[in-house]
């Protein structure tokens, strides 16, 4: 049985509230869970200490038993000092796509071609 430490959504429409739970990976997002570790309220201010509450001892126990946290929960556990999240680096993320690069090169060629006759006229 694969265990996940993940978020289970609660709250009303447009007013999300999440519980941090340990659940079987096959169970639905808001379905049955094994243990509740804490909560996350995204509507609170980012610097509010009550925004994320986690029982660190329970989390360590479940991680020792082999539970895998999701990306978002791993961030919370890292902030709480339970585990360290590996730094991610994606240098290609900021690069434009292939088509955009082609269009930029085409624009540069057109600008260079337009500038060349202007320079020749200025020299004459």
* 13-59 pLDDT per residue, tens: 999 999 999 999 998 888 889 999 999 999 999 999 999 999 999 99
pLDDT of res. 118: 66
Strands (E), the chain: 3-12, 15-24, 35-40, 52-54, 68-69
Tell which residue, 67, 10, 11, 64, has the closest CA to residue 35: 67
- Confidence band for 122, pLDDT divided at 50, 70 and 90: low
99-115 pLDDT, tens digit per residue, is: 999 999 999 999 988 88
| Res 120 pLDDT > 80 | no
**CATH class given for the domain over 3-80:** alpha beta
């Amino acid at each position: 049985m694969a265990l996940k430490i993940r978020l289970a959504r609660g709250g009303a429409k447009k007013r999300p509230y999440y519980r941090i739970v340990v659940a079987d990976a096959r169970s639905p997002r808001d379905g049955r869970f094994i243990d509740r570790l804490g909560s996350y309220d995204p509507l609170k201010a980012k610097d509010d200490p009550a925004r994320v509450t986690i029982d660190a001892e329970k989390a360590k126990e479940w991680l020792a038993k082999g539970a895998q946290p999701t990306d978002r929960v791993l961030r919370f556990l890292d902030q709480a000092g339970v585990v360290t999240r590996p730094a991610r680096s994606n240098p290609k993320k900021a690069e434009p796509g292939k088509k955009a690069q082609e269009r930029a090169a085409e624009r540069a060629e057109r600008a260079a071609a337009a500038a060349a006759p202007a320079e020749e006229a200025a020299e004459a």
